[in-house]
Amino acid sequence: MSRFDQQPTDKLFKALESASPQDELPSTATLLDAVRFNADGLLPAIAQQHDTQEVLMMAWMNREALEETLNTHRVCYYSRSRKKLWRKGESSGQQQHLKSAALDCDGDTLLLQVEQTGPACHTGRRSCFYLSLTHEHATINSEPLINPDELYGKQ
């Protein structure tokens, strides 16, 4: 049994601030009980290419999407517009395969290390972060790898 098992869920992440790699931690289910999902039951999830560290996208997960991702290693998000689970690549074929997942110190953001097949962005670009900003102007920093019409079929 972990010394953190007796912590109330609302205090668990604060208690984990003093944890070391040698500490035994509570089960994943216990940690998920303590995750700070927002009022809509969602958690921001940042997807990063595991080998290059390129930030690919940010999407939302509910607990069901997070549990499915951890169990299957195929990344699943929650689509706020469709109000349902969204398995990355289900319409485009451009899947994300989970390499590792980490919660931040507050338990309110998730970092996913993934193996991305093809573009991550619906625009056909590798990353959703293709619009660079300065205090004076904006620039596009990448071209689409695939035309979105080819990726999803004409909509």
The predicted-structure confidence for 116-148, as pLDDT tens digits, reads as follows 999 999 999 999 999 999 999 999 999 999 988
pLDDT value at residue 154: 58
What's the pLDDT band for 150 if we cut at 50, 70, 90?
A: confident
The predicted-structure confidence for 37-94, as pLDDT tens digits, reads as follows 999 999 999 999 999 999 999 999 999 999 999 999 999 999 999 999 999 988 888 8
Query: What pTM does this model have?
Result: 0.91
Contact 2, 15 (CB under 8 A): no
> In a 10 Å sphere around its CB, with 0-12 CB exposed, 13-18 middle and 19+ buried, how is residue 149 labelled?
exposed
Euclidean distance between CA atoms 81 and 111, whole angstroms: 22
Mean pLDDT of 19-25: 95
Closest CA to 110 of 72, 154, 75, 152: 75
Euclidean distance between CA atoms 133 and 146, whole angstroms: 24
Q: Among the residues of the chain, which ranges form H helices?
A: 12-16, 28-34, 63-72, 148-152
What is the identity of the amino acid at 6? Q
* DSSP-based three-state secondary structure for 130: coil
112 pLDDT exceeds 90? yes
- Residues with Cβ within 8 Å of 126's Cβ and at least 6 positions away in sequence, in order, are 54, 56, 116, 119, 120, 142, 145
